[in-house]
Amino acid sequence: MRAAETAGADALLLTHGADVRYLSGFTGSSGAIALLGGRATLFTDGRYANQAKAEAKGLRVVIDKRPPEIQAVEWLASSGATQCAFDAGITSVASLERMKKALPQPLRRGFFLPTEGLVARLRQIKDDDEVARLRRAAAIGCGLFAMVLEYVTSSATELQVAAQLEFMARLAGAEAMSFETIVAGGERSALPHGRATSARLPAQGFVTLDFGVLLDGYCSDMTRTVHLGRATEQEWEVYHSVLEAQQAAIAAVAAGVRCADVDEAARSVLRRAGLEKEFAHSTGHGVGLEIHEGPRIAAAQEQILEAGMIITIEPGAYLSGSPGGSALKPDAMAAGRSRVASSRSRRVHPVEKGFGVRIEDMLLVTRSGCEVLTAASSRDWMEL
Amino acid sequence: MRAAETAGADALLLTHGADVRYLSGFTGSSGAIALLGGRATLFTDGRYANQAKAEAKGLRVVIDKRPPEIQAVEWLASSGATQCAFDAGITSVASLERMKKALPQPLRRGFFLPTEGLVARLRQIKDDDEVARLRRAAAIGCGLFAMVLEYVTSSATELQVAAQLEFMARLAGAEAMSFETIVAGGERSALPHGRATSARLPAQGFVTLDFGVLLDGYCSDMTRTVHLGRATEQEWEVYHSVLEAQQAAIAAVAAGVRCADVDEAARSVLRRAGLEKEFAHSTGHGVGLEIHEGPRIAAAQEQILEAGMIITIEPGAYLSGSPGGSALKPDAMAAGRSRVASSRSRRVHPVEKGFGVRIEDMLLVTRSGCEVLTAASSRDWMEL
């Protein structure tokens, strides 16, 4: 409510599922919270009558057939609200029109005050209970990775590995996966979002696994890249450049640090290794009730990290193949690591087949640094 | 485009993922299609450069860093569009503001014309290719139900059954489940949306399984209710009332029939059985790229069924428990089936523990009636 008052309104309407759950505990798919004069009321429909009362303790609960946001608006109007902040990033144009029509004519003009992310900003800082849930979700992620490794063989398809991983996740109590499982083998590891397909894993090549569970409403997110068969020197180089970038970013994380500086910590390592263009996405994101929340760990992000934020750090490098050629520029390679034997040659490490590497951990920002919630799962080079 | 012209605009902007996929084949998570003068252009970002060109054949593809809808609006403005229809049910208030700001000042007033569901209405009628995909998805659903039955025992938890079902779905090639799997045992079968929990299945009682797969972008959806252990007469009665209602609704389906009349065909059977109040949801819905599409098969829905629509028919009855009491009114029971022994008594069938039954099939509306796509899975009474 303080957030709404800051915006100048005396009332606040929330309709986004994650916001409603965050403030009330209510997990139904259809609900709206109206706040006025320090009192919060949850509106939902008959399907959720018992559930709303059980979950949204301390809130007044109103059940009605009409859409919850219409109920909420009518109640606010009849309770003397004069201006109501709503989330313009969530509310559709059509929904706002319907809400306006639910108001008495004299109130319509200027009643609704568009804001964005009022609750999403609060949700960035996790309380102890949320940290505990995210810690459990992250721990399950680590366990799943350890268990699924025995299925990561060249006789398996990406889909079979994903199926095993998801099966074990469900048996471990996950409500669902927190996003589409990525199992990307061989050349498909060069796709940043290579969701599992019926493609067979390679006899020789990387396999990237990026996955998370939804546990008690909260998301986990982690990525590991392993190698099947014997790797080339370049594969080894790129892996360790990404790992170095990831560790540099993790080392940069602490309350008070700008998100852009954490991103740059990872990006500068990959730049020195000649892999800047091969790292085309941001370094990380907040995670909680939703898989992608604030803050964004990306270039030009001025936001300051705060203790209690839970974020991912996930740099990667993706090299597309070009028959007979090298994806790395020779000059860039010259700036690379010592295992590069003859960095002046144009074809020291030809990348006939593309490949990619990403390493991702989930971590809790603390005053002095951070705690890696997925630390139980090793990031060491793994040749299976 | 004809749809937009009917609305009075010379341009059309589409941003909803299912609409974009429907019209272009593009499956990326971020894309916008602009239509002007019979030409369609797909806008997306660098992550999807190769994918967009491969998937969206016949469309011009533009790749840029900015949000696709902003790219689209700028292109429309510079190409001479004077008014652009957009989907007000999809577009957020904040997104519309940003799109307005992307326009040259003189164009801003009146450029955007709110419409709702222009493409969603087209999507209701499936073409042959879509029917083939939905048929395959439905067939996989039937196979999964047959295979999962061996896990439906009183020693299993709901979650274990769901995990097995989802595991087999993935191995069969499903991209994902089309919604959260419902496995609701015993008293939990009285919840219309009882998603699988760690609760153990009952030694005696109903188990409702409601699930679907996402296959090649298209959703399946089916529900079966089976009984563990020996059923009471009332359980048998309610099951057969729901089955009779479902078959009556299926028999009512044909091109040219009002949706409300199909709903009434199911509802009247349950009304005669004294179960009208226990059937609190609608009878069905369209299904396709999204799990819930038009038409709605519900009371007061004037929409007329058309050949090529694919819909669900899924009546149910949910009896909440009341210690020592009956959920059915004695008068209502009197109108029930012949197996009711002494329908005048207040306690012929006490429902101490609540239970529920739902039976759902997916069907293709044809000129003369319908074809049940989930016919391979029996609806017969099943006591396991």
Q: H/E/C letters for each residue in B145-186?
A: HHHHHHHCCCCCEHHHHHHHHHHHHHHCCCCEECCCCEEEEH
From CA A218, how far away is CA A127, in angstroms rounded? 13
From CA A374, how far away is CA A364, in angstroms rounded? 10
From CA A177, how far away is CA A182, in angstroms rounded? 11
| pLDDT tens sequence across B83-93 | 999 999 999 99
State the pLDDT confidence band at A181, using cuts at 50, 70 and 90.
Answer: very high
In angstroms and rounded to an integer, the radius of gyration of the C-alpha atoms of chain B is: 24
CB–CB contact B116 A94 (8 Å): yes
Sequence length of chain A is: 384
CB within 8 Å of chain A, chain B residues 168-227: 170-171, 173, 175-176, 180, 192-193, 195, 198
Asked if residue A35 has pLDDT above 60, the reply is yes
- pLDDT for position B331: 42
Q: How many Å lie between the alpha carbon of A120 and the closest alpha carbon of chain B?
A: 15
| pLDDT tens sequence across A90-146 | 999 999 999 999 999 999 999 999 999 999 999 999 999 999 999 999 999 999 999
CB–CB contact B167 A162 (8 Å): no
Q: Sort out which chain A residues have CB atoms less than 8 A from B193's CB and list them.
A: 47
Residue in A with minimal Cα distance to B182: A175
- pLDDT for position A98: 97
- Cα B72 to its chain centre, rounded Å, is 31
Pair B24, B56: CB distance under 8 Å: yes
- Cα A337 to its chain centre, rounded Å, is 31
Q: What is the mean pLDDT of residues B318-343?
A: 51
- The partner residue sitting opposite B89, judged by closest CB among A92, A164, A167, is A92
Residue A346 class from Cβ within 10 Å (0-12 exposed, 13-18 middle, 19+ buried)? Answer: exposed
A39-44/A60-63 β-pairing: parallel
- pLDDT for position B343: 37
Lowest mean pLDDT among A47-51, A301-305, A363-367, B200-204: A47-51
End-to-end CA distance of chain B: 54
Cβ of B8 under 8 Å from any chain A Cβ? no
- pLDDT for position B346: 32
- The partner residue sitting opposite A170, judged by closest CB among B90, B93, B162, is B162
- Cα B64 to its chain centre, rounded Å, is 34
CB within 8 Å of chain B, chain A residues 96-135: 96-97, 114, 116
| pLDDT tens sequence across A194-244 | 899 999 999 999 999 999 999 999 999 999 999 999 999 999 999 999 999
Asked if residue B195 has pLDDT above 50, the reply is yes
Asked if residue A351 has pLDDT above 80, the reply is no
From CA A91, how far away is CA A86, in angstroms rounded? 8
From CA B330, how far away is CA B348, in angstroms rounded? 9
Pair B162, B152: CB distance under 8 Å: no
Sequence length of chain B is: 384
| Torsion sign, CA atoms B161, B162, B163, B166 | positive
From CA B39, how far away is CA B62, in angstroms rounded? 13
What is the percent of chain B with per-residue pLDDT over 90, rounded to a whole number? 82
Cβ of B91 under 8 Å from any chain A Cβ? yes
Q: Sort out which chain A residues have CB atoms less than 8 A from B280's CB and list them.
A: 46-47
- pLDDT for position A51: 86
For residue A104, whether the previous peptide bond is cis, meaning omega lies within 30 degrees of 0, is no
- pLDDT for position A344: 34
- The partner residue sitting opposite A166, judged by closest CB among B94, B166, B193, is B166
| Torsion sign, CA atoms B94, B95, B100, B102 | positive
Other CB atoms within a 10 A radius of the CB of residue A127 amount to 8
What residue type is B68 in one-letter code? P
- Cα B342 to its chain centre, rounded Å, is 40
Report CA dihedral (A122, A131, B161, B239) to the nearest 10 degrees: -40
Interface A-B: count of C-beta contacts within 8 A: 80
CB–CB contact A89 B91 (8 Å): no
Q: Which residues contact A237 (CB under 8 A, 6 or more apart)?
A: A273, A336, A337, A339, A340, A349
Higher pLDDT, A281 or B327: A281
* Best A92, A164, A171 residue to mutate vs chain B (most B CBs within 10 Å): A92
Residue in A with minimal Cα distance to B46: A280
Closest CA to A315 of A279, A287, A291, A264: A279
Residue in B with minimal Cα distance to A164: B167
Residue in B with minimal Cα distance to A86: B93
Q: What is the mean pLDDT of residues A159-175?
A: 96
CB–CB contact A176 B171 (8 Å): no
Q: What is the mean pLDDT of residues B242-262?
A: 98
From CA B9, how far away is CA B184, in angstroms rounded? 49
Pair B192, B131: CB distance under 8 Å: no
Indicate the DSSP class of residue B303.
P
- pLDDT for position A328: 47
H-assigned helices in B179-258: 233-252
Asked if residue A9 has pLDDT above 60, the reply is yes
Tokens standing for A295?
């803050």
Q: Which residues contact A129 (CB under 8 A, 6 or more apart)?
A: none
Asked if residue B165 has pLDDT above 90, the reply is yes
DSSP for B69-94, please give it.
Answer: HHHHHHHHHHTT---EEEETTTSBHH
- The residue with tokens 């012949």 is B338
Q: Give the SS3 label for residue B251.
A: helix
From CA A270, how far away is CA A278, in angstroms rounded? 8
Asked if residue B334 has pLDDT above 90, the reply is no
Residue B358, beta-bridge partner list: B316
- pLDDT for position B6: 66
CB–CB contact A163 B171 (8 Å): yes
- pLDDT for position A367: 97
Q: Which residues contact A153 (CB under 8 A, 6 or more apart)?
A: A201, A228, A384
Asked if residue B347 has pLDDT above 60, the reply is no
Q: What is the mean pLDDT of residues B106-135?
A: 96
- pLDDT for position B324: 54
Per-residue burial over A150-182, b = 16 or more CB atoms within 10 Å of its CB, e = otherwise = ebbebebbbbbbbbbbbbbbbebbbbbbbbebb
Q: How many Å lie between the alpha carbon of B367 and the closest alpha carbon of chain A?
A: 34
Pair B233, B351: CB distance under 8 Å: no
Q: What is the mean pLDDT of residues A33-47?
A: 92
SS3 string, chain A, reads: CHHHHHHCCCEEEECCHHHHHHHHCCCCCCCEEEEECCEEEEEECHHHHHHHHHHCCCCEEEECCCCHHHHHHHHHHHCCCCCEEEECCCCEHHHHHHHHHCCCHHHCCCCEEEECCHHHHHHCECCHHHHHHHHHHHHHHHHHHHHHHHHCCCCCEHHHHHHHHHHHHHHCCCCEECCCCEEEEHHHHHCCCCECCCCECCCCEEEEEEECEEECCEECCEEEEEEECCCCHHHHHHHHHHHHHHHHHHHHCCCCCEHHHHHHHHHHHHHHCCCCCCCCCCCEEECCCCCCEEEEECCCCCCECCCCEEEEECCEEEECCCCCCCCCCHHHHHCCCCCCCCCCCCCCCCCCCCEEEECEEEEEECCCCEEECCCCCCCCCCEC
- pLDDT for position A5: 67
| Torsion sign, CA atoms A130, A134, A135, A136 | positive
What is the percent of chain B with per-residue pLDDT over 70, rounded to a whole number? 91
State the pLDDT confidence band at B80, using cuts at 50, 70 and 90.
Answer: very high
Closest CA to B382 of B231, B278, B198: B231
| pLDDT tens sequence across B9-28 | 999 999 999 999 999 999 98
Q: Give the SS3 label for residue B307.
A: coil
Domain annotation for chain B: domains and CATH numbers: 2-123 (3.40.350.10), 128-372 (3.90.230.10)
